[in-house]
Amino acid sequence: MNTKEFTERYYVDRRGTWCYKWDSPEEQGKEHVISMSVADMDFKVPEAVTEAMIRRVEHGAFGYTITPDPYLEAFITWEKERHQVEIEKEWIRFSPGIVTGIYWCIQAFTQPGDAVIINTPVYYPFHEAILDLKRKLVRSELVPTEGRYTVDFEDFERKIVDEDVKMFILCSPHNPVGRVWEEKELEQLFDICGRHGVMIIADEIHQDFVYSGHTHISSLNVENGKYKDNVILMASASKTFNLAGLKNSFVVIPSEEKRKVFDAYEVSPHVDTACLMSYVAVEAAYRCGADWLEDLLKVIWENYEYAKNTFEKELPESIVTPLEGTYLFWVDLGAYVSADEIVDMVQEKAQVVPDFGNVFSDNCGTFIRLNLATSMENVEKAVNAVIMQIRERGLK
């Protein structure tokens, strides 16, 4: 299916459907506002998912449920076929969302006051979880070169030692900087963590959004699995298949010792099973969604190329970060607009709601993050509205 056909078939107007992205206060009742924030998609799920859910709805009984084997097997098969990673059923635990899982792991494996390190700019709930739970937030800033970010390994290791860090939360692929980490980068990170007794929480929610020339390396496969007992992998179908509202994620814990710690923390039987409908949807998505995903990736790539080319042509001093993974467009408009003016310019004047860079890092006040998982029409409107505002006020 080409990108136009995909959009015609799957794009859906989500306004007025309790949609976080389109019905939040910034957008509510304002038909002309273009929301490019919150990382979910404006596309319907594969038909096989809806059909499986309808069949289950027609069954008509929604009582307590067990965790179905076919759902676990569908996830295991997906991980094996797509990411060449072997996951054993016994390793898998449930959490309603990756962020919840991160909160649980911080609580289960560290103590108040312990230091936790992240590579900023990064998904802001990482910062919030560490601070909410009264742990010490340690940031090692990624270093951009012409927009492409890499790890400052020296800084990372020095901070781990100086701050006596206990845990590292890895984002792979990385939101918002769109990096798909190379194996040698992961090896270096994991080696540093291993040498200093730092356990790794690997958030791989964006693992299926990877573009030509890049390969997602599962944290469980780094150096042939050498570090897997030091890693807790978080994954879900939420981003891949637009199922975030169904609240179903996987916490994968290869180490038996760590499973015991996690289970001892997370003992309540009321949170160890998911919503019945999420099992149905996730299983169908992993079993039947691969072709839909391939077509979707083409749509996102086309949107990325449009946004990149347009920014670079119209605002040549903007710095567009190359998209290796995720569906998030990260651009620095610092040559044209200050951190103090950016909200007014983008949200109030251009009427585009992005995620602003300052929530990802204190150093990113002049950045915006745009969600590309929508129609080309929305991308065009949003990109051109932002550019027009900047041009109207006069280029430097």
Ligand X SMILES: Cc1ncc(COP(=O)(O)O)c(C=O)c1O
Q: Does 193 bind ligand X (CB under 6 A)?
A: no
Longest alpha-carbon distance in the chain? 64
Pair 142, 364: CB distance under 8 Å: no
CA atoms within 13 A on the CB side of 293: 22
Q: Does 386 bind ligand X (CB under 6 A)?
A: no
Q: Does 98 bind ligand X (CB under 6 A)?
A: yes
Q: Which of residues 198-227 bind ligand X (CB under 6 A)?
A: 203, 205
Q: How far is the CB of 223 from ligand X (least distance, A)?
A: 23
- For residue 103, the surrounding DSSP H or E stretch is helix 98-109
Of 110, 230, 238, 374, the one binding ligand X by CB under 6 A: 238
* Dist. CA 329–CA 321, nearest whole Å: 7
Pair 130, 163: CB distance under 8 Å: no
Q: Which is nearer to ligand X, 120 or 175 (CB)?
A: 175
Look at the alpha carbons of 179, 183, 185, 187 in this order and tell me if their dihedral is positive or negative: positive
Q: Please, what is the angle between helix 183-195 and helix 153-162, to 10°?
A: 20
Q: Does 140 bind ligand X (CB under 6 A)?
A: no
Q: How far is the CB of 126 from ligand X (least distance, A)?
A: 8
CA atoms within 13 A on the CB side of 282: 32
Q: Does 120 bind ligand X (CB under 6 A)?
A: no
* Dist. CA 54–CA 362, nearest whole Å: 46
Q: Does 346 bind ligand X (CB under 6 A)?
A: no
Q: Does 180 bind ligand X (CB under 6 A)?
A: no
Q: Which is nearer to ligand X, 371 or 389 (CB)?
A: 371
Q: Does 370 bind ligand X (CB under 6 A)?
A: no
Q: Which is nearer to ligand X, 336 or 367 (CB)?
A: 367
Q: Residue 373: what residue type?
A: A
Of 35, 175, 207, 361, the one binding ligand X by CB under 6 A: 175
Token pair, residue 5, equals 């056909």
- At 266 the three-state DSSP class reads coil
Q: How far is the CB of 98 from ligand X (least distance, A)?
A: 4
Q: How far is the CB of 238 from ligand X (least distance, A)?
A: 5
Q: How far is the CB of 99 from ligand X (least distance, A)?
A: 3
Which residues lie near ligand X (CB under 6 A)? 39, 97-99, 123, 171, 175, 203, 205, 236, 238, 244, 249
